[in-house]
Amino acid sequence: MCGIFGCILKEGNAAPVIHQALKRLEYRGYDSVGEATIHEGKLYIKKDSGKIDEVHKIHNLDDLPGKIGIGHTRWATHGAPLQVNAHPHLDCAGQIAVVHNGIIENFAELRLELENKGHVFVSKTDTEVLAHLIEEALKSNPFLNLADAVLDAVRKVEGSYAIAVISPKEPNKIICARNESPLVLGLSDSALYCASDIPAFLPLTNKTVIIEDGELAILSSEGFEIRKISDSSLVVREPKIVDWTPEMAVKQGYPHFMLKEIHEQPACLRNTLRLQEHYLDLMATFLDRAKEVFLVACGTSYHACLAASYMFSKLAYLATYPVIASEFMEQHGKSVNIDSTILAVSQSGETADTIAAVNVARQRAATVLGLTNVIGSTLTRISRVYISQQSGPEIGVAATKTFTSQLSVLAQLALRLAKKRGKISQDEMDFIEAKLKKLPDIVETVITTQEEKVKAIAKKYKDSKVFFFLGRGISTATAYEGRLKLMEIAYVPSIAFPAGESKHGPISLVEEGFPVVFVCPKDDTHKTAIGNIMEMKARGASIIAVIEEGDEEVKRLADDYVEIPKGVPDVLSPIPFVIPLQLLAYHMAVEKGYDPDKPRNLAKSVTVK
């Protein structure tokens, strides 16, 4: 997730307007920043890595000349947060500047083609191909205008993008285009704006036009025009007035970041399907060679590791050890050696316990692999290979979208490994891959159809003093995560364990009305899970079940239930099944009058041991 912005002013300098707009978009990414403007037929550009204020202090982002310009605030996906990778990106001649939010899936092939035609690339980004594609289009047909060249370029790319392009060849225009990344226009009497998000221009105008997927917009000093990318046909769309306050706008109308981030999960999951294949392959090769594999993390990321241990075992027949990072040294420190591989999972890439565990492993010559949401973080610097989970910044303290993204990446990794080890038939591989691709839609369905039900459940149980969360098999990880969410933001003491453990102690707590949340997909554990539900019910527990749609057996036993669409394979089930549990924690916190975005005593990144 990055933020893009562009403006054409009737009077004054664009640079300070861009700078302020990028500040308002900083929640979308903040590892690098850049601006480009046009003045008297020349392109001016400033960019660097670092937060906007830091870069401004060094480079003064306000002193670029010209009434027209574009800007970008970055959250790295391809290429580390370095000056060379910061946007805007230019073509060979330095005549086309592009800012981009999204992921170009076929950038490696396009880059090779363009390099073979003599284009010289300077960055490691996927974005740079766009600048060269536009340049190539103009070179091969000098009669094309800038908008046509951008059309030509975006028709060649696969993936997600919101882009804004300027060129001194047509100094009064910004061309922007969208596919699966947000893009809006802002209109006022004195200026035209394009941006990733409304907050960028909200203090300047509340008159907006939403650009839809598959559309390109041409902004000029005369106004704007929208065209379909597929056939260049004209689209007519009336502006709308938004009545959001700036605070509401940053949260896109949601009352809290946590809810916004829960709702962003379908989009984040789509992004995780755009990983660079060779990193997955490389990591799978390291895992394949390892004598022993430790999956090391804290909190929610540890739950992703726990789920991953089932994925690796079920798909690739690889036994792994999920370990809580703060225990790693004591539990395994001495046994780790050159044949060990550590896969560290940390959305921030900075968690002190995780980094400490990794450092212990490095000292003992083990191979370190990383999965993180922050390129440039400590974890990316100390890992032999890392994968970026591409969730965009998460502002709510409670991890939600970063958890489901981690699960998706880990499932893809397990599939790769399974293929490498010959442990999975092509049919099974195709089947699970097809289901992975459907998950964003399934998660969307869960959110849209089940949220009201979950809200009612939160209301009903808001005074309960303690909760159980139970699951069997891979759903144990989902249950643990449901418990953590409820405890950390709604402050409800909760207990989670594999359902089979109930009768070894915890069941003694159960009495009339005791709420027990069962994560109960229709997998191989279903029959036994029903037995566990009956045990609880016989002691008066109130059963809240997360079930597969149409699971009549569990519906009859449950006091309340929420349904997940059918047909999700067991190894992927934590992704949709955790959604109602995230929503339960959120609505419970709101019911009890707590701020879910700022749970007491917690920080987003825990950098102390």
The Cα–Cα gap between 519 and 150 comes to: 48
Nearer to ligand F6R, 22 or 398 (CB): 398
- Minimum Å distance from CB 359 to ligand F6R? 15
| Cα 212 off chain centre by | 21
Q: Which residues pair with 98 in a beta bridge?
A: 89, 165
Interaction between residue 351 and ligand F6R (CB under 6 A): yes
Which one of the spans 344-352, 359-367, 432-440, 468-476 is the region binding ligand F6R (CB under 6 A)? 344-352
# of chain residues touching ligand F6R (CB under 6 A) = 15
Question: Please, which residue, 52 or 484, has the CB nearer to ligand F6R?
Answer: 484
Q: Stretches 6-14, 214-222, 346-354, 525-533: which one binds ligand F6R (CB under 6 A)?
A: 346-354
Closer residue to ligand F6R (CB): 13 or 359 = 359
Report the relative pairing of strands 97-104 and 89-90 from DSSP bridges.
antiparallel
* Residue 380 in the binding site for ligand F6R (CB under 6 A): no
Token pair 């809810």: residue: 259
CB 282 to ligand F6R: min, Å:
22
Sheet holding 515-520, edge to edge: 494-498, 467-471, 515-520, 542-548, 560-564
Closest of 405, 342, 395, 397 to residue 373, by C-alpha: 405
Tokens of 486: 């409820």
Q: Where are the beta strands (DSSP E) in 347-493?
A: 367-372, 385-388, 467-471
d(CA 357, CA 480): 22
Paired with 164 in beta bridges are 99, 176
- Any idea what DSSP says for residue 61? T
Separation between Cα atoms, residue 462 and residue 452, nearest integer Å: 15
- The strand pairing partners of 468, in sequence order, are 495, 516
The DSSP annotation for 110-132 comes to: HHHHHHHTT----SS-STHHHHH
Give the contact letters, 283-322, x = binds to ligand F6R (CB under 6 A), - = no. Answer: ---------------xxxx---------------------
Least distance (Å) from ligand F6R to the CB of residue 575?
Answer: 16
Minimum gap (Å) between residue 473 Cβ and ligand F6R = 22
Known catalytic residue at 2: yes
Amino acid at 213: D
Contact segment (CB under 6 A) with ligand F6R among 52-60, 101-109, 340-348, 510-518 equals 340-348
Looking at 399, 432, 479, 562, which residue binds ligand F6R (CB under 6 A)? 399
69/299 with CB nearer ligand F6R: 299
Binding track, positions 443-482, relative to ligand F6R; x by CB under 6 A: ----------------------------------------
By beta-carbon proximity to ligand F6R, the closer residue of 398 and 536 is: 398
Minimum distance, C-beta of residue 484 to ligand F6R, in the bound complex (Å): 6
3 state SS of 74? strand
Q: What 3-state DSSP class applies to 156?
A: helix
User: Catalytic one among 2, 7, 176, 305?
Assistant: 2
Q: Which two tokens stand for residue 128?
A: 């740079």
Distance CA 351, CA 337 (A): 23
Q: Does 265 bind ligand F6R (CB under 6 A)?
A: no
Among 271, 320, 346, 582, interactor with ligand F6R by CB under 6 A: 346
Nearer to ligand F6R, 200 or 374 (CB): 374
Report the chain's terminal Cα–Cα distance, integer Å: 29
CB of 467 to ligand F6R, least distance (A): 16
Q: Which of 124, 459, 604, 609 is catalytic?
A: 604
- Report CA dihedral (337, 343, 347, 352) to the nearest 10 degrees: -10
| Options 122-130, 185-193, 342-350, 470-478: segment touching ligand F6R (CB under 6 A) | 342-350
Q: Which of residues 487-546 bind ligand F6R (CB under 6 A)?
A: 488
Residue 199 beta carbon to ligand F6R: minimum distance, rounded to whole angstroms: 25
Cα separation, 446 vs 287, in Å, equals 33
Q: Which residues of 317-343 are buried (b: 16+ CB within 10 A; e: fewer)?
A: ebebbbbbbbebbeebeeebeeebbbb
| Binder among 125, 347, 405, 532 for ligand F6R (CB under 6 A) | 347
Residue 604 catalytic? yes
Nearer to ligand F6R, 219 or 411 (CB): 411
Q: Which region, left, alpha or beta, applies to residue 452 given φ > 0 means left and ψ of -120 to 50 means alpha? A: alpha
The whole-angstrom separation of Cα 263 and Cα 108 is 31
Which is closer to ligand F6R, CB of 493 or CB of 550?
A: 493
Smallest distance from ligand F6R to CB 29, Å: 17
Nearer to ligand F6R, 148 or 481 (CB): 481
**Where along the sequence are the contacts to ligand F6R (CB under 6 A)?**
298-301, 346-348, 351, 354, 398-399, 484, 488, 605-606
Q: Which residues does the annotation mark as catalytic?
A: 2, 604
